[in-house]
A and B are shown apart, each in its own frame.
Chain A
Amino acid sequence: MKFTEEHEWLRVEDDQVVVGITEHASQQLGDVVFVELPEVGTKVTKDDEVVVIESVKAASDILAPIDGEITEVNDTLTDEPGRVNDDPMGDAWFFKMTPSEPSQMDDYMDEAAYKKYVS
């Protein structure tokens, strides 16, 4: 698993990359009340705003961590945005994508480095 400085996690599943936000990020956001997901098939470039997430406190954007194409989104979050607080590292992933430049992931942190980053 890889972690970005924007508090996203990336997990490789076969030729797909699953993207979500970290436990730390979900705690900082507070109770999530709204999630807007991208459309499947959207081609994204690293740092594009792909997900809008709103908590009781504020709106935040989730950026595409790498270039690629969105292949699946977690629709359950639209109806139950609170799942992002319940299980951010597991069931509450946001989207899956096919990376066009998998090497873009190399620069991201591993779990140990991320833990140090947020401590």
Chain B
Amino acid sequence: MSALDAMYQQLILEHAKSRSGADLTADEATSMPDQPGVGQCHQLNPVCGDEITLRLELEAAGSQSTVKGIHWHGDGCAISMASASILSELSEGASPDELGEMIGHFRELMRSRGRLEPDDEILGDAAALAGVAKYPARVKCAMLAWVAAEDALRQAVATGR
């Protein structure tokens, strides 16, 4: 498999088209939610114009809380859109700590220039994005949704208490 094919795997291209969680409307994307346990973040990559507004909702699960869902509105390249789609699917039902660990691991993987192997247990489908790490110019594309999720999670946890 060429480096290009390793980056644009079938799974990635399918996510780029299906875009799980891409159901936040343009109106919702421009207004900040004022609810406890909900966070929202807008991220823009000025280099290529890739853009995402991501909303994360927590719900109570016993004494803990878990991610009810990630919904987003965005436009960008196949890598940024697939990455947001995968994140949206992965995050559902995760505890804030688990999602935080996922984001941390994904960031390390992306910054590794291809030296780290992805942990499938933690990253699931996002492991398929490992090929992006060999293209430093594209790492920001893959990270866009994850950076937004990290901030949205911080807000959701802060207001959810």
Say whether A and B bind each other. no
